[in-house]
Structure formats: structure tokens, C-alpha cells
Structure 1
Amino acid sequence: MEELLCKIRDCRVCKDHLPKGPNPIVEASKKSKIVLISQAPGRIVHETGIAWNDQSGKKLREWLGVDEISFYDTDNFAILPMGFCYPGKAKTGDAPPRKECAPLWHEEVWQEMKNVELKLLIGSYASNYYLSKKENLTKKVQNFEDYLPEYWPIPHPSPVNRFWRSKNPWFEDDVVPALQSRIREIITGKS
């Protein structure tokens, strides 16, 4: 696994298309139980080299009901974005993740991880890649039970999505407590 992670971190496939250059962000261990499949690192994460080291990460940890120590323990959580490098800014939020990363690296990472109990699909890029594109993200999140036990789609925790959250209070009222319960079961090994 470490050799593969080093190869990914050394990847320069998209170097000419990245405004701040390559800095692939990926974390995993052979023992990872939960895989966080998200969009791509933001500017702060690119600069610090620490995944989810921003407001989105703070909100995600809140939704998962975990502290930073549990979150950054790769035996608990692997971090496998759709795009490993910061893609730059777009009109609202960050640009879409580069399309090269997931097809190039995800399958190799899956081959190394045998203890995965849950793949958390964070945002539309991850859910569209791993699930049907026919349903929009809101429907996927509402119907999360249809994708269990392998996948659990959730919205991206970015502050940009605060309007989605305010229009869909059922997510934090109903889905988040169920998600926290499942995360706790997986991490502690107790159902």
C-alpha cells in the first residue's frame, strides 16, 4: 500500500492543467474500514497537504460524529478523492476534479484494501461515478438505504452548499444521526 500511495503522490499526469501544480492528496491503509470518496482537495488542503483541513472537513467530521484523531487514523478512514489535486477555482466554488485520477488510480487502491465496510460518496462527482447518473444527488441522499451496505451518498460539506442544507433540513435531522450511528458501529466494531 505504501508503495502505491507514493506512486500516486508522485503522479504528474495533470501537471499542465493544475493552476497551483500537482500535490496529490490521498490517505489509506490496508486496514481502512471507511473510504471517503470526495471531489478534490481545496486550496487550503493543497497548501497544507492535510486532507479535509478546512471548513468542509470540520463540517464532515461533525456529520460523521468523530474527532480529528479518529478521522485521521487511516485504519478508520481512507481518503480517496475523485481528483487528487486542487483543480483551481470555478464561478462558484472549486473547479471540477480532473477526470484522469479516478480511472487511473482508484481500482489499484481498492485492490489493496480488504477491510472496507463502507464507501462514503461525498458530493455529486463521487456519487455519479460510483452510482447511476439518472438520479440527482438529493434523491440519492434521500434514498441512501438503497445503496447500503456498500455505499452511502451524502452532499459535499462545503460552505457553498449551505443553501442545499437549508432547503433540505431532513438531511441533518434524519440522515446524519443514522450515518453517525453506522460510523460508530464500524469504528468500534460493535453493532
Structure 2
Amino acid sequence: METEQQDLSGLIPRMRACRLCADLPLGPNPLFQLSPGTRILIAGQAPGRLTHAKGRPFDDPSGVRLRGWLGLSEAGFYEDPRVGIFPMGLCFPGSGTGGDLPPRVECAQAWRGPVMGALGGLELSLVLGKYAIDWHLPQLKGASVTEAVRQTSQGEGGIFVLPHPSPRNNRWLRNNPWFEGEVLGRIRAAVGRALT
């Protein structure tokens, strides 16, 4: 366990100083939240423009919804070292015509494997978005988000796929009431178990 902690302790400052994507429109600003005690991992896509400016992951309307889904207060979400946030891309990738651009691939290539190998105490992974699904659940690569959420709705293996909590997904939530009606209760229970 101490080897894992030392490995992660060495990785965190290197990730904070990362400049692999120095050509990003707003420049590099790696946003993540990890500690050797991380038990719950939130694996998302990449920070948005607002969170880039604020310097804190999920510090936006998506984060408000996500915290509600998980049954966590703002303090519990940001101050509990057992809650980790590790997006596929650590920096805001820029905007495209349909929203934010995809996370930069060089980020996951550089950091994903070493960090995941150092997180020895994970009990629960919450996977948001296509790029995170493809990495964490390669057997679901190519599946729709709806299908991925359905296939992981029991939390087997300590993994749930969630739709992105963005207000842009209000229509998805209306069309899939089973997520909030059935799956969120299981997710909240799993979060509670991981934090006790």
C-alpha cells in the first residue's frame, strides 16, 4: 500500500505541472482531484470552460447535478480525500460547433495507466461519457451511452456508467426516467458504502 501511495504522491505534482497540450486555446490548466485514499473515482471527459476558469473540476451546473445524484454535499465532494475526480483529459480542450472538443488523446496516454495503477483502494468507479466508457469498459466500446448505463445499472464490479450531468442532457433524462427512478438509488447506496 505504501508503494502505491508513494507512486501517486509522485504522479500528482507531475500532472499538475503537465504541459503536454501547451497549444490548447486557453492553455494548460490540469484539473483533477486525487489522493492515496481515493475510494470513489469519478472518471469524466475533460474540464469545461467554466471549470477551467474557476480552477476546480465540476464547479458548474453539471457538478451541482452530479453531487445531487451522488447524495454528496459540496464539502463532501471536494474535501473528502476518498472522492477522486480524474477526467480523460486534464485540461479544457477548447470548443467546437457542437460543444466542447473531445479530450486530447496524449493526456490519457501519458497519465491514465500510471494513475489507475497507483489507485489501489478503489471501491467504486463512476464513468461519464464516451471516452471514459471506451477506456474503462472497452467491452462497451461503440455502445450508446443509454446502453452502457443500462448494462452497468446494477453496479457489478463496482462500476456505474452515468449520463453526463450537463443541463444539455435534460432531454435524455426525460426520455429515460428509469435512470433517476431506479439507478440513482443504487449509485447513492454504493457511494454510502464506499464512504463508511
* Residues 42 and 125, structure 2, Cα contact 8 Å, conserved in 1: yes
Gaps of 5+ in 2: 1-7
* Residues 35 and 118, structure 1, Cα contact 8 Å, conserved in 2: yes
Q: Which residue of 2 aligns with 1:161?
A: 169
Q: 1:22 to 1:31 in 2, by over 3 A?
A: same
How far did 1:133 drift? 0.9
- Percent identical among aligned pairs is 39
Greater displacement, 165-174 / 123-132: 123-132
Q: Which residue of 1 aligns with 2:124?
A: 118
SS at match of 1:19: coil
How far did 1:3 drift? 2.9
* Residues 5 and 26, structure 1, Cα contact 8 Å, conserved in 2: no
- Equivalenced residues, count: 187
Greater displacement, 142-151 / 164-173: 142-151
Supply the distance in 1 between the matched residues of 2:106 and 2:122 (Cα, whole angstroms).
Answer: 24
Gaps of 5+ in 1: none
* Residues 47 and 58, structure 2, Cα contact 8 Å, conserved in 1: yes
TM-score by length of 1: 0.92
Supply the distance in 2 between the matched residues of 1:62 and 1:76 (Cα, whole angstroms).
Answer: 17
* Residues 70 and 76, structure 1, Cα contact 8 Å, conserved in 2: no
Supply the distance in 1 between the matched residues of 2:84 and 2:44 (Cα, whole angstroms).
Answer: 11
Supply the distance in 2 between the matched residues of 1:136 and 1:160 (Cα, whole angstroms).
Answer: 17
TM-align CA RMSD:
1.4
TM-score by length of 2: 0.90
How far did 1:117 drift? 0.4
